[in-house]
Amino acid sequence: MRARLVAAMLALLGAAFLVVGVTAEVTLNKVLYDRVDGQLTAAANRAPRGFDPLPRTGPPGCAQPRGRDFPPGQVIGTLSAWICDGVVVNADVLTENGPADAGHLGATLPAIPVGAAPRSYDLGELGDYRLIARNLPDGAVLVTGLPLADTKETLYLVAGVVAGVSVLMLLAVAYIGVVIVGRTLRPLSRVAATATRVSQLTLDRGEVELPQRVAEADADARTEVGQVGAALNRMLDHVGNALEVRHASETQVRQFVADASHELRTPLAAIRGYAELSRRGPRPVPPEVAHVLGRVESEARRMTALVEDMLLLARLDAGRPLAHEPVDLSMLTVNAVSDAHAAGPRHDWRLDLPEEPVMVVGDPARLQQVLANLLANARTHTPEGTRVTVSVSARGEQAVLRVVDTGHGIPADLLPHIFERFARGDGSRSRAAGSTGLGLAIVRAVLDAQGGSVDVDSVPGRTRFTVRLPLKT
């Protein structure tokens, strides 16, 4: 904005200087040429005094010039030429030492219209002249001229001075304009700095405070910048209130989920207990009833797992601290892959571990759950025979764990939402496959709480989950 304002100001000022300069140059040109034309007319009226009719030695019908004397009052540089029957008989220029031969001008002077207004002509070595032609009583033509060198020099000098002064003024105005515009827009820079600080705040989760406000001096509604500052303050107040309402609502929902999950654990345990007890009675249970009780027990177990996952997420959302202790990620991975192999023996499980143990800082139980969820995700959503490779490495200050499978891949439209809660794709991602849609959400929540991260990239035939955790120092 500063550059545009200064450029616009310089453009307008430059246009003004150009108009003034051209107007002054045109006006001065007219004034000087009118003055030369007046002097030329007076010189032409004085010139015939230097001619007397003498015996005709020149062309017939014309008088011979009496001599090369110029009448009094003629200025230095005055040109006087006598033309008879289209032939230049005599052409002299008045110098400081008296009349001097003007040279060969036979091609230019006879072409000058007689009786016309003065005109400018280029006379070669003599330079530019203002010339006028008059008839003499005996039929000869007298051409009188005045040099234009001084006139043009004056015009060029004025044009140079105007151009130089204009350039200097534009440079001075550019410098002063940058200073003035910079000081004028300084409050706007402070408003922009406030908006930048607000944009760097984390507003998507947790309790959010917006302490940043535009200073009262920059929020004066009587100025344009102040109106922007006041509007930004009002917007921040509105956003802050909306974030407080959102946080209060999220807190209530989290508390409800935590309370509901906690309260559901007891009745679910009772349902499972009664189902098992009914099947272990002294009298045999009919097959139909046994099947129903088995289904009740199975669904109770699935609902118990779902409640435990929801309770864990609610605790993580509430900011419950997790343990931070040294964990052997290599051994944790070996145990997790061993459990996954037992749960899915028809998958091709492979391990890629470094020679030295990779130690990280975290909660061993939760990290074990992260690994179990990632491997369960690979086992559940890929067909039997799929190769699943789990690798651990240390890079810089981070431990990197990768779970790569050769399954069908994750649909492109699901990838941006893969770590959201209750995210499911079509086909295998159904409740029938045992997926609750919370496994990967727990992975991200736990890693965020442990200072780690997880990301995924997938194409048909290759899906890779990458986990990064801080190394133990």
Q: What is the pLDDT of residues 254-303, one digit of tens each?
A: 677 667 766 777 787 788 787 777 777 677 777 777 777 778 877 877 77
In this predicted structure, what is the pLDDT of residue 254?
67
Tokens of 467: 């986990």
Q: Which CATH code is given to the segment(s) 325-470?
A: 3.30.565.10
The half-sphere exposure of 241 on its side-chain side, counting CA atoms within 13 A, is 5
Low-confidence ranges of the chain (pLDDT < 50): 49-56, 426-433
In this predicted structure, what is the pLDDT of residue 371?
93
Mention every residue, 6+ apart, whose C-beta is less than 8 A from residue 330. Answer: 353, 354, 357, 358, 392
The amino acid sitting at 199 is S
In whole angstroms, give the CA distance from residue 275 to residue 227.
70
In this predicted structure, what is the pLDDT of residue 208?
66
Contacts 24+ apart (CB under 8 A), 90-95: 90/65, 91/143, 92/68, 93/126, 94/70
Tokens of 277: 């007890």
CB 143 within 8 A of CB 109: yes
Residue closest to 77 by CA, chosen among 123, 114, 136: 123
Tokens of 383: 């067909």
Q: Which CATH code is given to the segment(s) 202-211+222-320?
A: 1.10.287.130
Question: Average pLDDT over the chain, rounded to whole?
Answer: 82
Global pTM value: 0.50
Residue closest to 143 by CA, chosen among 268, 40, 295: 40
In this predicted structure, what is the pLDDT of residue 431?
45
Place of tokens 């453009």: 11
CB 442 within 8 A of CB 308: no
The half-sphere exposure of 114 on its side-chain side, counting CA atoms within 13 A, is 13
Cβ-in-10-Å burial (0-12, 13-18, 19+) of 327 comes to: buried
In this predicted structure, what is the pLDDT of residue 432?
45
Residue closest to 377 by CA, chosen among 362, 364, 390: 390
Q: Is the dihedral of CA 227, 228, 232, 238 positive or negative?
A: positive
Three-class secondary structure of residue 139 per DSSP: coil
CB 423 within 8 A of CB 440: yes
In this predicted structure, what is the pLDDT of residue 232?
80
CB 35 within 8 A of CB 146: no
In this predicted structure, what is the pLDDT of residue 65?
63
Residue closest to 102 by CA, chosen among 56, 152, 144: 144
In whole angstroms, give the CA distance from residue 234 to residue 220.
13
* Order of strands across the sheet that contains 79-84: 98-101, 87-95, 79-84, 141-147, 128-135, 119-122
In this predicted structure, what is the pLDDT of residue 350?
93
Place of tokens 């959102």: 246
In whole angstroms, give the CA distance from residue 144 to residue 80.
5
Percentage helix, strand, coil for the chain under 3-state DSSP, each rounded to 5: 50, 20, 30
